[in-house]
Structure 1
Amino acid sequence: MIQILQQPITFDEFIEWLPSVSECRYELHRGVIVEMPKLRGKHSKVSGNLAYDLGTAIRQANLPYFIPKECIVRSLDGNSGYEPDVIVLDEPALIDESNWESGSIITLGKSIKIIVEVVSSNWRDDYFMKLGEYEALGIPEYWIVDYAALGGRRFIGNPKQPTITIGQLVDGEYELQQFKVSDRLFSPTLSNLMLTVEQIFGS
């Protein structure tokens, strides 16, 4: 994770700055443009498999949701913009998203059913910053997928082991549940999802 500009900018300035074609991904963190690591290796595999598995469950349940290839989520205060690893959108709700068609930008928590971050070396972003931002937006379900057990011990236990944490929004706050090894995941949004942690992480 590399900071590109030191001077704080607005979300709109960030969107205008974003290159249309780039070898890197970029996010806006509290007014600062940050170059994000490109998805590679196991991170890319886990993200891709998750998108496939969630998409399959959506189709099987005949729900009006979909998973876009790219999407930027603006924070409630407008100081940040995130590109999640996987996001499940509620298609009928997009009627209220004025910048969806022109820029794949989401500003309302009600448009999102599930948001997923696959943990990398900047794990604090996922466990601290993004959790708080997604909670404030009112996103009902947040997954933190920590396949390499990078998160702090207070989040994934001691000794550390690969963990998926699923937050369910209850009364405006995430209630967090951890899943490890052979545990079957429970998704409040997709009750028909039949997956274990091992199936997601693979070998």
Structure 2
Amino acid sequence: MIAAVDKTPLSFDEFIDWYPETSEINYELKRGVIVEMPKPKGKHSEITGFGIKKLNYAIDQMELPYFIPRECIIKISDDTGYEPDIAVVNRVGLADEPRWESSSILQTPKSVKLIVEVVSTNWRDDYALKLSDYESMGIEEYWIADYLGIGGRRYIGSPKQPTLSVYTLVDGEYEVQQFKRDDLIRSPTFPELQFTVDQLFNPF
């Protein structure tokens, strides 16, 4: 269940000042509204953990200057900020991130190589709102891991089935490739990945 915590429009800075330092719940700011985002559990958590393991392995193998923080907030605009399930961060870009050390906030696209959102019940946010926001910010690559196959038919086709959508920024707009079942996942950021959608969605 995702619920609005406070419907009074807030700025991003007010949201960060409000954000509890210790909380069992994640929060995001969407168009000035604080929204409660329950922390991943069960299958959602398994998929996120497996994705982090595989991406970290690729980072090590390719000797890239990237890392995956435990938590971070992506500032989209003055009234919107998200906590993605996985963010691959480019260390080179952190020199231009004034709030990284103090608040784990990222606000420049060159700091973020890849974002992964694992779909739960809020598929409209991942496929519409966040897709548009990450595109406009200039995030190079964005994955939507829809392991339940619950996204709208206009996004994953019919009949609906578990789908990994990989969006890549080309001339300022996202182009999408979709992978299902035993398809090997293809990533421009990590061309050496060697695992399938089934392995991602059923890791254990």
TM-score (normalised: structure 1) = 0.98
- Name the residue aligned to 1:108: 108
d(CA) in 1 for partners of 2:188 and 2:37? 29
Displacement, 1:37? 2.1
SS at match of 1:165: strand
- Name the residue aligned to 1:35: 36
- 1:116 maps to a residue whose letter is V
d(CA) in 1 for partners of 2:169 and 2:78? 21
Deviations 1:3-41 (A, max 9, x none): 011110000000000001112110000000000122000
Unaligned runs of 5+ in 2: none
- 2:78 maps to a residue whose letter is G
Displacement, 1:92? 1.1
- 1:195 maps to a residue whose letter is F
- Name the residue aligned to 2:130: 130
d(CA) in 1 for partners of 2:21 and 2:139? 27
d(CA) in 2 for partners of 1:118 and 1:108? 23
- Name the residue aligned to 1:165: 165
Instruction: Note the aligned Cα RMSD (angstroms).
Output: 0.8
d(CA) in 2 for partners of 1:110 and 1:135? 13
Unaligned runs of 5+ in 1: none
Extract structure 1 runs of 4+ deviating beyond 4 A.
none
- Name the residue aligned to 1:140: 140
- Name the residue aligned to 1:56: 57
SS at match of 1:136: helix
- Name the residue aligned to 1:196: 196
Displacement, 1:78? 1.8
Deviations 1:38-62 (A, max 9, x none): 2000000001110110010010000
Percent of counterpart pairs with the same letter? 55
d(CA) in 2 for partners of 1:7 and 1:116? 29
Does residue 174 of structure 1 match 2:174?
yes
TM-score (normalised: structure 2) = 0.97
